[in-house]
Amino acid sequence: MRITEAVLYDVELPLVHSFETSSHRKSSLRHLLIRLTDTDGAEGWGEIASPAGPYYASETTTIAKHTAGEYLIPALAGAQWDHPDEVSDLFSTIRGHYFAKAGVEMAAWTLWSTKTGIPLSTALGGTRSTVIAGVSLGIEPRIEDLLVQVGRYVEAGYPRVKLKIAPGWDVEPVRAVRAEHPDLDIHVDANGAYPGRGEQGYDEAIAIFRALDAYGLTMIEQPFAPRNLLDSARLQAKLRTPICLDESVETLDDLRTAVQLGAGGVLNIKVSRMGGLTTARRAHDLAQEAGWPVWCGGMHEFGIGRLANVAISSLPGFTLPSDVSASEKYYAEDIIDPPVTAEAGEVRVPSVPGLGARVKTELITQHAADSQQFRL
């Protein structure tokens, strides 16, 4: 296969319910969508789901746009490839920029899947026809508001609820949700908001995690800053609740280090954070060897990135519910048809080649602040 054209759309969609994490609150998402076309006119779509601001990771939408346009798309020019893993290799000399790489590589994967007739899930080694979905709930103004949100998604059949926590919003909301839902699979995600050893508030942070340990949580996600694997390992030794790593693991080397240090026991595999489906699949294999269960995290993806998340979640090591809730949790109208839906908390894995849904180009154009075309 050889790519002859790429189009990059800069698209913003409003969220149906605004979302607050330990770092900031957002009410809309701005992602880049990319369409690749090859010499035979076959097309593939990908999504660059980096957040607009540099809070989850340093790679913002504007930076990703620059990286894709100046480095990644030009690297495709003239390249002949038979498998998307080779596209991933084309980017190997470019350091970091995992979100941008993931989106461009995803377009290569969906194009390849369409052309070969092999469904994305099958090509990745998927074994499930449905994946179990969990919801991720942001910080709310009051505990009562959080209880309404939790009740709503439990009612809809989602079997797992993840609660965002931050200093000042941790033990109390968890206690309240646990009191109303004694048997619910609950996990918390701090997005690295707690101070590490030597920083002010470390002792309080440890006391909070010890208190959280009593609520039967499935995991505590990313308690400390991304690079702070040592404090994560120290904390893991003190808790029975497994620590899950998200921001800490961008590369397979990061994962090997984390496993070696005992910095956790669960991995959140985000296709975007790890630079694409190829690395995500390798991380799954490595985690399986290490005995770490995995699940797929989300970045509030539009339908394209969401379907890639569904495909990777069908692999056998994804034994915990993934953040692949239905499109309607996020957007009034998704950019794919049909949108992703969940029934009793399960999302069906498409069994057809390609993305598994039609991309609504008209809607994309309507919501695009701009688009750039590259002829290769």
Catalytic residues: 164, 270
Q: Does 300 bind ligand OSB (CB under 6 A)?
A: yes
Binding-site partner at residue 105 among ligand OSB, Mg ion, none, CB < 5 to 8 Å by type: none
Binding-site partner at residue 334 among ligand OSB, Mg ion, none, CB < 5 to 8 Å by type: none
Q: Does 279 bind ligand OSB (CB under 6 A)?
A: no
- Tell me the C-alpha to C-alpha distance, in Å, between residue 298 and each of 56, 65, 134, 327: 12, 20, 10, 12
Write down the least CB distance from residue 17 to ligand OSB, Å.
Answer: 11
Whether the bond between 242 and the residue before it is cis, its omega within 30 degrees of 0, is no
Q: Which residue lies nearer to ligand OSB by CB, 84 or 297?
A: 297
Q: Which residue lies nearer to Mg ion by CB, 185 or 246?
A: 246
Q: What's the CA dihedral at 326, 332, 337, 343 to 10 degrees?
A: 30
Closest CA to 276 of 92, 128, 65: 92
**Residue owning tokens 């097309």:** 43
Q: Using CB under 5 A, which of 189, 231, 301, 323 touches Mg ion?
A: 189
Binding-site partner at residue 300 among ligand OSB, Mg ion, none, CB < 5 to 8 Å by type: ligand OSB
Q: Does 323 bind ligand OSB (CB under 6 A)?
A: yes
Q: Which residue lies nearer to ligand OSB by CB, 115 or 152?
A: 152
Binding-site partner at residue 56 among ligand OSB, Mg ion, none, CB < 5 to 8 Å by type: ligand OSB
Closest CA to 326 of 98, 135, 100: 135
Contact present, 275 and 105 (Cβ < 8 Å) = yes
**Burial zone of 13 (CB within 10 Å; 0-12 exposed, 13-18 middle, 19+ buried):** buried
Q: Does 264 bind ligand OSB (CB under 6 A)?
A: no
3-state helix, strand and coil shares in percent for the chain, rounded to the nearest 5 = 35, 25, 40
Q: Does 246 bind Mg ion (CB under 5 A)?
A: yes
Q: Binding residues for ligand OSB, per CB under 6 A?
A: 56, 136, 189, 191, 246, 297-300, 323, 325
